[in-house]
Chain A
Amino acid sequence: MLAEFIGVLLILGLALVVAGLMALAPKLLGPRREFAEKQEPFECGERQIVSPHQRFSVKFYLVAMLFVLFDLEAVFFYPWGALFRELGWFGFAAMGVFTVPLVVGLLYEWRKGALEW
């Protein structure tokens, strides 16, 4: 059962070791001279004028929401695509019925300007 996942676990281990060593190396090899001015976040030569922790445009929230919804839609497409020949016209019709409301939703968003940037 686990045989096919040995490779995944091995490569995950290797990736963690490689990334860990690369992250650790400068701590051991690099110089270390800290002072307050140097540690300041970069702001093109100024002191930070506004804090980065502020509200962002609602667009990004909307994109994340639409992403979740369309991702859920896409998730149904993957097994359906692989089983397509077995399901035949019946599966084609079933997915057509499933897709119509989503296309309507997409058009609604388009018309309402939710996709404008």
Chain B
Amino acid sequence: MIVGVAIKMLFIVLVIMGLFLPLITWVERKQAAVMQDRIGANRADLLGVTAMGLLHPAADVVKLLSKEDMVPSGANRFIHQIAPMVALVPAIITLAVIPFGGVYQFGDATVSLVVADIDWGMLYILAVGSLATYGAVMAGWASNNNWGLLGSIRASAQMISYEVTMGLSIVGLFMCYGTLRLTEMAVAQDSTFRVFGFLEHIFGLSGPWFAWLDWITLPAWGIFLQPLGFILFLTCIMAENKRPPFDAPEGESELVAGYHMEYSAMRFGLFYTAEFLEVPVIGAIVATLFLGGWSIPWLSTADIVGAVGGAFGQGFASGLCMILHVGSFLLKVVLMIWFQMALRWTLPRFRYDQVMDLCWKMILPISIANIFITGALVLWLDG
């Protein structure tokens, strides 16, 4: 039991932290170069081999490890030491509740591809996210630096503001799925719905003339059930994690570097890791909530098992499903990473007052309205 959990944990942590994380630091540079029509990231070489800049992540690690770790005078040493750890730990432990595959039957054994299948998984993500604020607060306050403190005050005010709207923007999704458990949400998205089903339901339009409408289906993904919720949630989760274009707390033109100003060597590396780790973690959360999690569009688990289960046996069908589903999930995460990187190099940074106005004056009223509109629609269509 515990071994199985440990294997699943190592798999997801190694894929996200060991594979995606170094690649993202490379993609960030390389995509910037491509989008700005530069050659970019090709200086790190090993015996003349640059491998398109793929050696840069390794060079980063070597450099961060060999630099001096400094604590500024007048700093609160203890809090200054632990702040980077407080920033990184929440980003890692969020991965525990993300289902990267469904539930598979191999003979008598049941394999469920999630580290911790908690009944209130979404609340766990929100609670862990609310603790991430303290990393920024502690770092800025303990550094005894004006820029650091300004950055941390800005960061915390922004993070707490978007935390509220982040929660409210997905209430509509809870209403559609009727659950807070992430594995159940993913299963609910492993199907399709008829786009024009409501015509028949409300106007009684049925019969041969309208039969062709039944062929027009969409996957029952959050993005199609809650398109407004998707935009709101994506905005909020990126702002909550201070990702560009919402990175006013570390706007170098105003604050030099923000709350991690007085950090050097690998303890700066911890902030750096936390920040880049948030990119795939955001991708995984958005993929699970809105992009069907591990599901494959128009090809449900039952379809796959029905097609190959008879000829090759149940075990083979389960294995095939598992591989396809994990691949589908990781592909969606990669898609979200690409999207975040494209945004990062397309949009200029918002001003701080714009960030706060967007939260309190736009997203908060719209997400409350979204909840009640969704509610009325759900009850109406349920009849």
Contact flag (A, B; Cβ within 8 A):
yes
**Are B5 and A38 in touch, CB under 8 angstroms?**
no
Contact A14:B13 (CB < 8 A) given known A92-B376, A103-B368: yes
Q: A26-B65, A30-B68, A106-B364 are in contact. Are A78 and B96 (CB under 8 A)?
A: no
Question: Do B145 and A41 touch (CB < 8 A)?
Answer: yes
Do A82 and B178 touch (CB < 8 A)?
yes
Q: Does B353 contact A (CB under 8 A)?
A: yes
- Sorting the interface of chain B by its residue count into under 10, 10 to 19, 20 to 34 or 35 or more gives 35 or more
B308 at the interface (CB under 8 A from A): no
Q: Is the CB of A44 within 8 A of B171?
A: no
Contact call B145/A110, Cβ cutoff below 8 A: no
List of B residues within 8 angstroms of A56 by Cβ: 153
Are the C-beta atoms of B89 and A19 separated by less than 8 Å? yes
Known interface pairs A3-B1, A30-B67; A40-B72 also in contact (CB < 8 Å): yes
Tell me the nearest residue of chain B to A59, going by C-beta. B157
A74 CB → nearest B CB, Å: 4
- Report whether A14 and B9 are in contact in the complex, using a CB–CB cutoff of 8 Å: yes
Let me know if B361 and A41 touch, CB within 8 A.
no
**Bound form: Cα–Cα A70–B365 in Å:** 12
B144 close to A41 (CB less than 8 A): yes
Chain A binding surface SS class? helix
The answer for the CA separation of A19 and B160 in the assembled complex, in Å, is 24
Bound state CA distance, A21 and B115, in angstroms?
Answer: 23
A:77-117 near B, CB below 8 Å: 77-86, 88-89, 92, 95-96, 99, 103, 106, 110, 115, 117
Identify the closest chain B residue to A21 (Cβ).
B266
Q: Residues 27-66 of chain A: 1 if any B CB is under 8 Å from the residue's CB, otherwise 0?
A: 1011111101011111110001010100010001001101
Residues on B with C-beta less than 8 A from A74 are 164, 167-168, 171
Using C-beta atoms within 8 Å of the partner chain, give the interface range for chain A.
Answer: 35 or more
Q: In the assembled complex, which residues on chain B have CB atoms less than 8 Å from the CB atom of A5?
A: 116, 118
Q: Which of A4, A12, A41, A103 meets B73, CB within 8 Å?
A: A41
Contacts of A26 in B (CB 8 A): 64-65, 67-69, 264-267
Q: Is the CB of B2 closer than 8 A to any CB of chain A?
A: yes
Chain B residues, Cβ within 8 Å of A11 = 9, 13, 92-93, 95-96, 115-116
Known: A11-B115, A99-B368, A110-B361. A84 touches B178 (CB 8 A): yes
Q: Is the CB of A32 within 8 A of B68?
A: yes
Q: Top 6 closest A-B pairs, CB basis?
A: A7-B116, A81-B174, A117-B353, A26-B265, A15-B92, A7-B115
Q: Which residues of chain A have a CB within 8 Å of any CB of chain B? A: 3-8, 10-12, 14-16, 18-20, 22-23, 25-27, 29-34, 36, 38-44, 48, 50, 52, 56, 60, 63-64, 66-67, 70-71, 74, 77-86, 88-89, 92, 95-96, 99, 103, 106, 110, 115, 117
Chosen A-B contacts, 23 in total, with CB atoms closer than 8 Å, are: A8-B116, A11-B93, A19-B89, A19-B270, A23-B85, A23-B270, A29-B66, A30-B66, A31-B68, A39-B72, A41-B145, A48-B146, A52-B148, A52-B149, A63-B160, A74-B164, A78-B174, A81-B174, A82-B179, A84-B175, A88-B379, A96-B372, A115-B361
